[in-house]
Structure 1
Amino acid sequence: MEEKTYITIISIVGISVSLLIIMAVTLITFFHHTKKKIVEKEQEKASLKIKHQQKILQTAIAIQERERKRIAQDLHDAISSKLNIVSLTTNVLLIDKTINDKQKTALEQILNITTGTLESARKIAHDLLPPILNEFGLKAALQELFEDCTKYTKIAIEDNVEALTRLSKNDQLHVFRIVQELINNSVRHGKANELMVYIEQHDTGFVLHYQDNGQGFTVKDVMEKSGIGLQNIKSRVKILNGTLKIESTPNNGSQFIIRCNYER
């Protein structure tokens, strides 16, 4: 009798332990599955957030480019055309033999100011929207940018730029704006007088290597408190599905290495 009772107790204990193990496994499986679902939802949420941010970013840059185009058109139509009329009228007055020396001097000053203003307006419009980019592509646009830069400043530029023909016109514009912004930063903030720009194309993408001999900076400080120019560069690199690497120390110049893939 006692032996039977003992066996019964062992059986009950065994069943209880088995049930506890089953419950434990069930709970662990449930929590694991729940955690996995939560992680998946969080990843999905993060992915949607990134896509949303990317869309906002692309929209903001598209608006910026439209505004540049509008201002460039206004400069050409509303300002340059009227200044051309002033220039032509002044030239007509200058050939009038009835004017005295004082009037002639005044007209020559007006002509010089008008010519200078026309050149400035042309340069601003060109910086806002380089027409050569649409007509002849990125390489030609960058070559013109480098020539203008060396013409109007004392900067020497060493370059070796491939055409990147596999990029769309819109993406070529992003690359152009990145180089343009890098040069502006080197001149305004870095006080550089020597630049190097290399763009090399590969089967899957391209690499842009930019270097200057300017004042340099502490990378961590700049990344934490980046200005509008650097933010603009980082935004365009993201749109191009690229990565940005910055190397710089105070008084030792700066390097920017951008790697982008064609696949998105």
Structure 2
Amino acid sequence: MAAPPEVAFGQLLFAGIAFMLLAGGSLVVFLVTYQKRLLHQQLHLRLAEAEHQQQLLTAIIEAQEGERERIGRDLHDGIGSTISTAKLLLNRLETLPPHADDAQGLLKLIREIMSTAVHDVRSISHSLYPAVLARFGLAEALQHLVDVSNETGQLPVVLEIDYPRPLTLAQELALYRIGQELVHNAFKHARGATRLLVQLQQTGARLTLVVEDNGCGFGAAPGRGAGLRSIEVRVQMLQGRLSREAAAGQGARMVVELEARPE
């Protein structure tokens, strides 16, 4: 028969072993549960990222289709109508005697119409790919955009630029498209505006593009059209931030900010 001290030691040893087994089992259960939770979170993040990429791709396609639709409309309503008019005048010119007084007037009118068509073709070509951007950079491209916008006489546009260190061509092209769409939206929705400001400011690695009008604000504009989705997509591609400030009757201010290393 075992002595009482040996019995106590055996019980203590058994209790210690049981405790260690219990602790080890709990640790194993915790690790397995933690691993499952971690895998679930990773799967959730991957699904969320895949969904975001799908939404981004959808938005890109919608923006591209919107741009194509607008270009097609410009070709049909602008250049198509202009050339059709010139063709009708040419047909009329063929029926007149060579030295008729009306012939010289028609010829002059046809030349003016064709000059307008050439100007429209150049404008559409520039909207497809701004050659001035590839040759001279973002600052000159924005200046050309503002000059062309002012030629319409619809709304005075003022440009302020402080852009000493150019970015990459891809970044500049995305910023130009953003600025182009913002100006287009302002012309379309800034009812009552008497001034449009386009500002490009570079401070260190931070670049800020501002398009601001003193019109009606967002009250009369649609919430999220194809143009705005196109802007948001390009801002996301640049890993930037888009903010909107507007109040009814107090104008609208669109700000794009990004951190980018100069070329």
Q: TM-score, normalised by structure 2?
A: 0.72
Asked if residue 122 in structure 1 is aligned to residue 119 in structure 2, the reply is no
Matched residue, 1:36: 38
Pairwise CA RMSD: 4.1
Aligned to 1:167, what secondary structure does the other structure show? coil
Gaps of 5+ in 2: none
Matched residue, 1:100: 100
- Distance, in Å, in 2 between the alignment partners of 1:229 and 1:136 is 26
Matched residue, 1:177: 177
- Distance, in Å, in 2 between the alignment partners of 1:152 and 1:67 is 22
1:132-169 C-alpha deviation (Å, 9 max, x unpaired): 11221111111111111112123222221134643122
- Distance, in Å, in 2 between the alignment partners of 1:11 and 1:103 is 120
What's the CA shift for 1:111?
Answer: 2.8
- Distance, in Å, in 2 between the alignment partners of 1:247 and 1:198 is 15
- Distance, in Å, in 2 between the alignment partners of 1:173 and 1:44 is 30
8 Å CA contact 1:159, 1:198 repeated in 2: yes
Aligned to 1:143, what secondary structure does the other structure show? helix
What's the CA shift for 1:248?
Answer: 1.4
- Distance, in Å, in 1 between the alignment partners of 2:140 and 2:210 is 18
8 Å CA contact 2:150, 2:157 repeated in 1: yes
1:190-237 C-alpha deviation (Å, 9 max, x unpaired): 22331112111233231112211122126xx96xx5111001111111
8 Å CA contact 2:212, 2:252 repeated in 1: yes
What's the CA shift for 1:122?
Answer: 2.7
What's the CA shift for 1:113?
Answer: 2.5
Gaps of 5+ in 1: none
Structure 1 residues 241 and 164: alpha-carbon distance in aligned structure 2, compared to 1, 3 A threshold = farther
Aligned counterparts, 1:1-16, within 5 A: 16=18
Equivalent residue in structure 2 for 1:230, among 228, 231, 247: 228
Structure 1 residues 45 and 166: alpha-carbon distance in aligned structure 2, compared to 1, 3 A threshold = farther
Matched residue, 1:20: 22
8 Å CA contact 2:244, 2:252 repeated in 1: yes
Amino acid at match of 2:228: L
Matched residue, 1:145: 145
- Distance, in Å, in 2 between the alignment partners of 1:215 and 1:198 is 20
- Distance, in Å, in 2 between the alignment partners of 1:63 and 1:147 is 25
What's the CA shift for 1:130?
Answer: 2.3
Aligned counterparts, 1:50-65, within 5 A: 56=57
8 Å CA contact 1:187, 1:193 repeated in 2: no
Structure 1 residues 147 and 166: alpha-carbon distance in aligned structure 2, compared to 1, 3 A threshold = closer
Q: Which has the higher contact order (CA 8 A, sep 6+)?
A: 2
Percentage of pairs with the same residue: 24
Amino acid at match of 1:101: D
8 Å CA contact 2:63, 2:226 repeated in 1: no
Asked if residue 250 in structure 1 is aligned to residue 251 in structure 2, the reply is no
1:9-54 C-alpha deviation (Å, 9 max, x unpaired): 7876665555434423331232123212332343355456656766
What's the CA shift for 1:63?
Answer: 7.3
8 Å CA contact 2:60, 2:233 repeated in 1: no
- Distance, in Å, in 2 between the alignment partners of 1:10 and 1:29 is 28
Amino acid at match of 1:20: L
1:74-116 C-alpha deviation (Å, 9 max, x unpaired): x8xxx89xx7xx89xx8xx9xxx96122333333332332233
